[in-house]
Chains A and B, each alone.
Chain A
């Protein structure tokens, strides 16, 4: 039995926006795999809920008129993993969200919930950062889009304006981001399932037509700081360079200039730094391979 004050079920995006304006203190609930856990723990006990789970218009993956890969915020992890467009355009995202929790959680959990939760360990977040995803919010004044790096404000806080009735309606990956781009995600956990990431690392590269130069390299981490983050120093080391083992080493060491993992009982800072370097190296090598290149 959950300690819930009231629950309002939205039937459409407009309905959700109106409910949000009418109940500004209410908590949005989608799949519930985070919110219900928090209610049970007492953290969100006694709150009003607005359920958006029934809004089918917010489900599914498509290519929109601007050629963005558009993922409706209510799309479940298992649907993302198995979606043909995702498999073709950004398979690493499907692989990343396939490492969340258990099959049951991946069937109920949504990419919108994963990002709106604002936690650094979310398995989708590092890949969405590395692919410079755009977050689409819908409110009383219509649609607002912002880069995912601006969406995350601080640990547990994202830029959704309740006073404007906003809800997150889609996650977009622009064509310029996904075109001719190949990536790899490594989740570091202490076990192989039912796990929260000790560290997550997502790398992607675009190679030159002859595959001899890394034209663009992007890397992002989860749990390397209070919110998911890019490692621009490391990217600068790799951009425009030939993919070699020496580069992979230099690239991976450079991440230390960017990341700032915590010392906590879950993992020591030195240990997180060590695996961050190793993961960057391995993810870069794998990304280059996936892009059809060879590491010299």
Chain B
């Protein structure tokens, strides 16, 4: 039986269910000191002084360090592969602690104490004197002349502007009879809300620094800690244990450099940084709020003549992943609904908000909300059915993108749309719901997306791994693409078992914990790359291991390696399948051979020079209670073509989680800031409305398995894609139900009240009187 394509239990399921899995806090050495961070209470200011005397006097406080104590070494934080080309390196704009406060919550000092209470008391006792500066929160206001400036190196606050031109937009729009649909769309600042807040601890050992951290990217963290502390990268050892989710927040270097530096300031003692939920919301990373201005020119028969899109991406205070998100967001438009004449522009702009970084979907949930809202509005302008309009215009079969090398081999968009429409019973329900005229109205909506699997050709794509044949015939496997809760270790076990020829995925011992001193270098968990990228290296290393196994078996059994194969953990004759030697016998014989002792291992690196389109759609059915300004999601389905599934049950779980995130993005989640002070208002899980089980309908996950031709295992992206199309599908369903097109998310009751009032669906007589 094939080992891939099976819904086997996760390799870590038992320990996780039993509470045995060890996260960073479970590995904490005794007597670790607590580092607690003083966050600025101004949105934009210079720290003039910090009086530490009261804090230092508190019993248990070991040391107080401020922004006046840190080395003057700016460092970047993005979890991107290093580039040897200085022009492509991430912006280095952070210090360990900052005198120039750029957002409400910026890090300005730390208190190191024997216990948590003393550390917190110390932070509260710090007296800070600020020189206040004007601040700006809005992305377009930050671009205006005279706006407060955040970084000297970036006058005008624009981190980067890129564009993309196709055909001749200015000429194309002169075509007679075109219909123009021009609108603005706005997406919010949201946060990842992984269960485990970020945390880490650090200590010195034999002159080197060890950091155990809740990260997605241990090898990149090693590089950045080295950069930030001005130490050779080999001086740093990063250990990544199991983590409680990351969703991209931990694809950034967070407080590892600060933690490592604090350890060096207290004689190498172990120090710990544990972010609270409130800190996680503000002082880690958030998703970019992106504002869109879209103008689409339509022909009456339902084709798109030309399109102009402007994306304004709110970067917040520090560059982090920077323009990569807006660029990816912008790039999606030209391929999603291709047309001959395009003008695309994107700006990434600093503001006095928390720094935006990577978050599941990396610009695509924003793009999808704007694009799929606009496409819906286009269909409405034409009086066409939105399903039919999409079928006419969405990326055609055989579409090829020269830059990424991606091809739409199977017409996946239309296959996904057909399957989704069939599940939700689109045609019948659309007709039935059209008759709703009461206070509660039903509606149905859809949205599509495409997604790049990996980061080629923008960045390096490489994966390394190591396979060791154990004496019992099992295989130990190590790689740098991390398990972050998504189930990567289980997929690797299945792929290794398949590629080597083991009898079960349980015969693969995946070393989940990465240690940069030991684990082959990999880039970590990001994009939607792990299964795709690791697959190339797994096949290559498995071939090497099999070669060694067969050579060893052939030598010991006086046979020819070419005649042998490994099947179900046994070396067999290819000709008739008869057993030659089991892997355990072979491993023992080879290891304990008194003359030619041999430990059978293999290790290799594969550089991937391809990428793959992943496709999908969402259909949502809603009930809108107009007077109560409430939306109930009745039914929701995602259909994905992510290639061949390695583990269908885990794939469905990915989809469920992504749909949940999309529901929050669509209807409830938004980080709010006080306009007068820049202070975050709702950085806690009570006031930040993460959606709950009680807000979810049954989440249906369906797949179309067109094997990806470039992948050894036929796979492509599924990690991020499920978050992309849910929000616009909900928006379009609400539009279908009520006739009100809402161009900003989250579409929460406050927004519905305003929009329904404006549309005349709600009339508060007493308001008109006043």
Contacts and interface: CB of A to CB of B under 8 A. Distances in A.
A192 B750 contact: no
A271 B124 contact: no
Contact of A194 (B627, B685, B748): B685
A265 B672 contact: yes
A3 B691 CA distance: 31
Contacts of A273: 764, 766
B689 A42 contact: no
Given A1-B116, A42-B120, A42-B124, A191 B764 contact: no
B707 interface: no
Interface in A183-218: 188, 190-194, 196, 198
A275 B628 contact: yes
B295 interface: no
A274 B695 contact: no
Contacts of A42: 120, 124
A190 B690 CA distance: 10
Interface in A239-296: 253, 256, 265-268, 270-271, 273-275, 277-278
A191 B121 contact: no
Contacts of A278: 627-628
B758 to A, nearest CB: 13
A187 B319 CA distance: 42
Contacts of B693: 193
B692 interface: yes
Contacts of A266: 687
Contacts of A191: 668, 689-692, 694-695
- For A1, A45, A256, A267, the residue with the greatest tally of chain B CB atoms inside 10 Å of its CB is A1
B117 interface: yes
A252 to B, nearest CB: 11
B282 to A, nearest CB: 15
A42 B116 CA distance: 13
B388 interface: no
Interface in B103-148: 115-117, 120-121, 124
B596 interface: no
B265 to A, nearest CB: 23
Contacts of A196: 686-687
B753 interface: yes
Contact of B121 (A3, A194, A271): A3
A3 B125 CA distance: 14
A165 B187 CA distance: 54
B681 A192 contact: no
Nearest to A190: B689
Contact of B749 (A190, A253, A277): A190
Contacts of B690: 191
Contacts of A268: 750, 753
A237 to B, nearest CB: 15
B120 A3 contact: yes
Interface in B740-757: 748-750, 753
B685 A1 contact: no
| A interface: dominant SS | loop
Interface string A212-232: 000000000000000000000
A1 B115 contact: yes
Given A271-B749, A274-B753, A278-B627, A256 B692 contact: no
A265 B117 CA distance: 32
A268 B765 CA distance: 17
B50 interface: no
Contact of A271 (B115, B668, B750): B750
A32 B121 CA distance: 21
Nearest to A267: B750
B581 interface: no
B694 A193 contact: yes
How many of chain B's residues touch chain A, expressed as a range? 20 to 34
Contacts of B766: 253, 256, 273
B674 interface: yes
Contacts of A267: 750
A46 to B, nearest CB: 8
Interface string B624-645: 0001110000000000000000
A46 B686 CA distance: 24
A5 to B, nearest CB: 10
Nearest to B756: A274
A265 B681 contact: yes
Nearest to A279: B628
Contacts of B431: none
A123 B140 CA distance: 42
B631 to A, nearest CB: 11
B694 A274 contact: no
B687 A192 contact: no
B20 interface: no
A253 B115 CA distance: 56
A264 to B, nearest CB: 10
Nearest to A192: B694
B762 interface: yes
Interface in A19-55: 42, 45-46
A254 B19 CA distance: 55
B767 interface: yes
A271 B753 contact: yes
A188 B629 CA distance: 10
Contacts of A275: 628-629, 749, 753
B212 to A, nearest CB: 20
A193 B694 CA distance: 6
Contacts of B753: 268, 270-271, 274-275
Interface string B287-306: 00000000000000000000
A77 B697 CA distance: 27
A45 B118 CA distance: 11
A63 to B, nearest CB: 34
B61 to A, nearest CB: 14
B721 to A, nearest CB: 25
Contacts of B762: 274
A108 B598 CA distance: 61
B154 to A, nearest CB: 30
Contacts of A270: 753, 764, 767
Nearest to B628: A278
Nearest to B770: A270
Contacts of B681: 265
Contacts of A271: 629, 749-750, 753
A192 B691 CA distance: 8
Nearest to B276: A40
Contacts of B767: 270
A184 to B, nearest CB: 15
A47 to B, nearest CB: 13
Interface string A43-78: 001100000000000000000000000000000000
Nearest to B115: A1
Contacts of B627: 278
Given A253-B766, A270-B764, A193 B692 contact: yes
Nearest to A46: B121
Contacts of A194: 685-686, 692
Contacts of B749: 190, 198, 271, 275
Nearest to B692: A193
Contacts of B672: 265
Contacts of B117: 1-3
B510 to A, nearest CB: 33
A36 to B, nearest CB: 14
Nearest to B766: A256
**The 8 residue pairs across chains A and B that have the minimum distance between CB atoms:** A192-B694, A193-B694, A193-B692, A1-B116, A271-B753, A3-B117, A278-B627, A190-B689
Given A193-B692, A278-B628, 4 more contacts: A1-B115, A42-B124, A193-B693, A277-B764
7 contacts: A188-B628, A190-B689, A190-B749, A196-B686, A270-B764, A271-B750, A275-B629
Interface of A: 1-3, 42, 45-46, 188, 190-194, 196, 198, 253, 256, 265-268, 270-271, 273-275, 277-278
